[in-house]
Structure formats: C-alpha cells, structure tokens
A and B are shown apart, each in its own frame.
Chain A
C-alpha cells in the first residue's frame, strides 16, 4: 500500500466546540478502491472527523487533501461538487419533500431546451425514473409510491433513500455514517452488497458503524478512533473483533502504539 497515494488524506485535524475537544490532531487516510471502516467509542469523535471530511464541519487546524491537492471546504456543497457524497447519521432528508426531490436536492436536473434554460423547469419524470431505479437496485421494494413524501416512509426506508442517493452520485468518495443502523436484515444485506458494488466501480468507501460483524465482513482496513484521534489502523483479516473492541475502549493497546496522555 505504501506506493499508492491516498485519495483522501487528513493531517492533524483539530476541532473544539467551546471547551469541548472533539478532535485533537486526528490523522486519516483513504486509499483508492478500498473500503475503510471507522470504529470507535461513542464520543470518540468519529462523526466530527467524518463531517470535516464531508465539509459539514470546518476544522480549526489541520489539512485535508483530495487526490494529493489540499482542499478547504466551506460547506457540504464544496465537498459534494468534488465528488464526496455522504450519508449522515441523521440522514439529512427533507421530510415534506418527495423521494425524488430529496435524492436530487441541490442538483436538480432541468428539462432540455428552453423550458430548462429559461424557465428553469425541473425534469420531474426523468428524476423520478432515476430515483425508482436506484431504490429498486437497493432492493427497497416496499416503497410503493415514488411521489410519497419522505415523512411517510419508515425509518429504514428513509435510510435506504439516503444511501441510494449517496451511491448514485458519489464519484470520488462515498462516506456512510451508520448506514445500516435502522435497516432490516434484508436491507442491511443489500447495503453491504451495494457498498461492494460501489467499491467495484472503483470508488472508495468510508464506513462508520457500530456493527462489528458488518465492519469486519466488508472492510479492507479498519481505522480505530479513540479520544479524538486515530489510535491505529488494523487489518480485519489479522485481528479479531474482540481485539478491535479492546483497542477502541482502551482495554488493550495495539502493538507499537503508546497511549497519549
């Protein structure tokens, strides 16, 4: 892996919320074509790290590089324009809007010709067909009506919509923060398959999850976050889940790592 340059890299990220330190010098590397798991205790700063990478949080210090070039995200739209697509824990969906409207929020397709260029009319039929296809790909067949408002969907279906949106539009990196937390057995399985599909398309994935079997099943490397920084990166084929739990809770120190004060 040493010859390959990371596609997304962060160095020394620091973020304070008032007096609370959420990240204290966190490093991060994502290599092309891999699935990277990120695990850690509650409050370890996983979500803040992920939000910094997706533009939702602006770190106080530290640098983020995409494809070897330093980037300064001023907001999620900047990260998204560069091809970083994120599914947040709270899903970031607008309840009153329809499924298709949500999937295309902020990147609506317009009708061809004068209707689109002058009258800015959205191409609803095309957007709805695309949304339907993506949901079917994900196996979300319990969504009966694509014109439904998102608020009428169950928690799992909403998560499915958010995952489908990220998978459909991510071109550089896809970040999934707890993508299977609210999903049923069938849908979780589909999400894991989808994660592999996306990776097979050559797009690397960051998977944040508390579900150890899922993380160990799909990930190529596992980044263990503890106390606002990266503790270590392990290979799931060489470590057991109990090792990982021991590392992230501080029960055991990984080899060659000394706990910072």
Chain B
C-alpha cells in the first residue's frame, strides 16, 4: 500500500506552524467613542433601559404640558390604573418568551373572578377558600391551553383564540350574565377587596395590589434569570428544536409556562375585584390586547426568547402615563388609543434597529 492515496499520519506542513499560534484571548481597540455608539451599545447591553428612558421622558414631558400631572397624586392614579394590566402583562410575558401568545388571559381573569365572587358571596364559602378555588381554576384553564399547545401541537394563537371564546361563553353561562354588586361583596366577603386598600404616603396612595405587582415582578425576574427553568423558557422560545436536542423536556416546560400564566391570571382576578370593587362578566374586555401592548412596548420580542419582566411592567406604566397624561392635558380619549398604537410601532422599530446593529 504505497499509492499516493495511502493515509498519512503526519500532520500536514501547513498545520505545523500551529505550534506557534497565539494563545492569548483576542483583544481589540475599542471604537465606541461617538455618542451614538455608546448609546447603542449601552441599550444593547441593557435593553430594559429603553422602556425605562421612555417612561422617564414621558413623565417629564407630561409634567411640562400638564403641571397637575407631576406629583404623587397623578402617579399613584397611574399605578392603580395599570395594576391589573400589569399582572396580565407578567403572565403574557412568560407566554411570549416561549414564542407563543395568549389571547385568553383576560377571559381567564374574568372567569376566575366570577368563581371567587359567586362562591364567596352567593354560595357563602369562606372568602379565602373561594379565592383559592378561583386561582386553581385559573391554573386549570392555563393547563388546558398548555396541553393543546404542547401535546396537540396547535399554534398558541389558534388555541387561545378558541379558548378565549370558550372561557367567555362559560363566563356568561356561569354568571347568568349577572354582576355581583359592591355592597354584597362588602357585606359578605370583604376579604375579596383586600388588594383595593391603599397605604397613604403624603399625597400618594400606594394600593396593596400595586405593591403586590412589584413583588410578583421581582419574583418572576429572579426565576427567569437565575433558575434553570427560566433559562429553559428562554431557550424554548429561541429555538425549540435546539432546546429539545439540548435535553430540555420542551413539552413539560411549555405546559408549566401556561399553567403559571393561568395561575397569575387567577391571582390577578383577586386583585381586579379589589380594584373595581365588584365582579362583572363583561369587565376587562380590553386587557388581552393591553397586556400584549405592554409586553411589546417593554421590549419583549414576539418571536420569543428575548425580553424582560421589568420591561413589561414599564410598558404597562408607559401606556398608563400616556392615558392619564393626555387626559389631564385635556386631549380627547381617542388620542390615547392613537398614542398607544404609535408607541407599539415605535417600540418594535427600535427593537429591530438594535437587533440589526447586533448582527
């Protein structure tokens, strides 16, 4: 065997120089001197700073336009207004991180709140037990979404579009299209209104619900960034096949995400009862789209895998600040919707600009 095809066991000549290869970690002169460069780099490293900056700037601008806006009074009004949307946005963020979308979050919230109200006020169950059952049903509805998405492999949009109708129908059937009045709740189950209470600091009143929103956001931030489960949620949204090949149990994680989202919506139902003071089968009809708006303005990508919990809370606040600010400035209501729409488009455009720059 001495043909020229005989395998060679000698390292080729051109590879021999490798022994002299540089082994230090590569280092480059930094060229990020211009302001735009520094800004872009900063925003790329800390994407949550975009909604944070937008929030600060919009508060500043509205304070100039409408001096009444600047002050703890108006800001605590904003917090009250965005509390429920904020909770739902937290649930929505989890789903969107897995490259899904949940159109049924609002319906889960309303059905859960009716279960709580009916059991506590009409059936006379202890209020906390009624809350527990309501939250449980919220998780159950989330589990149904999760099973359909993960096991039957249906697109999340279709699944939750379907369950939105189903849950809404069940809501009307279960409630017989009747609301539960504030006076009845106050008389029979005042615990349902807990989260409506406020603590006063000078001119500002911080509602318990608003405070809980911050606590839950902090918990979810920790879970998403510092636990393995959080990494898996990101990985699945990023590339489900790669996640599967990396040994992640994609289906179990997906189902757990939908269950947690349902759990949050169920809990938000309790908050919502405290916020509104009554339970109505037709309340919170806009919270689905408002939550998606908040998540997108907060910088979470609808394609999954990238985003932040803090961003979604800030996103909810930005929409709230615009609504309150515009109405204090004496602008008609429909311009508030106009502003929210514009914000979504700008947020996504900004996100794309940053993403392009990173390639």
Contacts and interface: CB of A to CB of B under 8 A. Distances in A.
B123 interface: no
Contact of A108 (B1, B222, B228, B358): B228
B248 A105 contact: yes
A144 B26 contact: yes
A238 B1 contact: yes
B21 A108 contact: no
Nearest to A93: B242
Given A94-B238, A95-B238, A76 B246 contact: yes
A81 B249 CA distance: 13
A120 B322 CA distance: 38
A144 B227 CA distance: 25
SS class, residues of chain B in contact with chain A = loop
B11 interface: yes
A243 B228 CA distance: 49
B305 interface: yes
Taking each of B27, B234, B247, which has the highest tally of chain A beta carbons within 10 Å of its own beta carbon? B247
Contact of A106 (B6, B22, B248): B248
Contacts of A76: 244-247
A88 B358 CA distance: 26
Contact of B305 (A94, A102, A142): A94
A75 interface: yes
Contact of B22 (A80, A141, A189): A141
A94 B26 contact: no
Given A141-B26, A186-B21, A91 B234 contact: no
A139 interface: yes
Given A144-B27, A238-B1, A107 B306 contact: no
B239 interface: yes
B235 A105 contact: yes
A236 interface: yes
Contact of A242 (B5, B22, B305, B359): B5
B203 interface: no
Given A105-B247, A107-B247, A96 B1 contact: no
B245 A97 contact: no
Contact of A94 (B6, B14, B21, B234): B234
A29 interface: no
A238 B5 CA distance: 11
B22 A94 contact: no
Contacts of A80: 247
Nearest to B4: A240
Interface in B8-33: 8-9, 11, 14-15, 18, 21-28
A17 B275 CA distance: 55
Contacts, number: 123
Nearest to A152: B358
Nearest to B355: A151
A216 interface: yes
Contact of B18 (A86, A88, A94, A186): A186
A56 interface: yes
Contacts of A86: 245
Interface in A108-152: 108, 110, 119-122, 124, 139, 141-144, 151-152
B245 A88 contact: yes
A181 interface: no
A80 B243 CA distance: 13
A238 B227 CA distance: 52
A122 to B, nearest CB: 6
Contacts of A94: 234-235, 238-239, 242-243, 246, 305
A217 B25 contact: no
A27 interface: no
A21 interface: no
Interface in B282-326: 305-306
Given A94-B235, A97-B235, A120-B229, A75 B18 contact: no
A101 B231 contact: yes
Contact of B227 (A90, A122, A186): A122
Interface string B315-347: 000000000000000000000000000000000
B80 interface: no
B244 A75 contact: yes
B241 interface: yes
Interface in A8-26: none
A237 interface: yes
Nearest to B226: A121
Contact of B231 (A105, A143, A186): A105
Interface string A63-106: 00000000000011100110000101011111111000110011
Contacts of B14: 185
Return the 9 tightest CB-CB contacts between A and B, nearest first.
A240-B5, A92-B245, A106-B247, A216-B7, A108-B228, A77-B247, A94-B235, A92-B242, A105-B246
Interface of A: 56, 75-77, 80-81, 86, 88, 90-97, 101-102, 105-108, 110, 119-122, 124, 139, 141-144, 151-152, 185-186, 189, 213, 216-217, 236-238, 240-243
Given A77-B248, A97-B238, 13 more contacts: A56-B245, A77-B247, A94-B238, A97-B231, A97-B234, A105-B243, A106-B248, A108-B228, A121-B226, A121-B227, A151-B359, A186-B21, A240-B6
Interface of B: 1, 3, 5-9, 11, 14-15, 18, 21-28, 222-223, 226-229, 231-232, 234-235, 238-239, 241-249, 305-306, 358-359
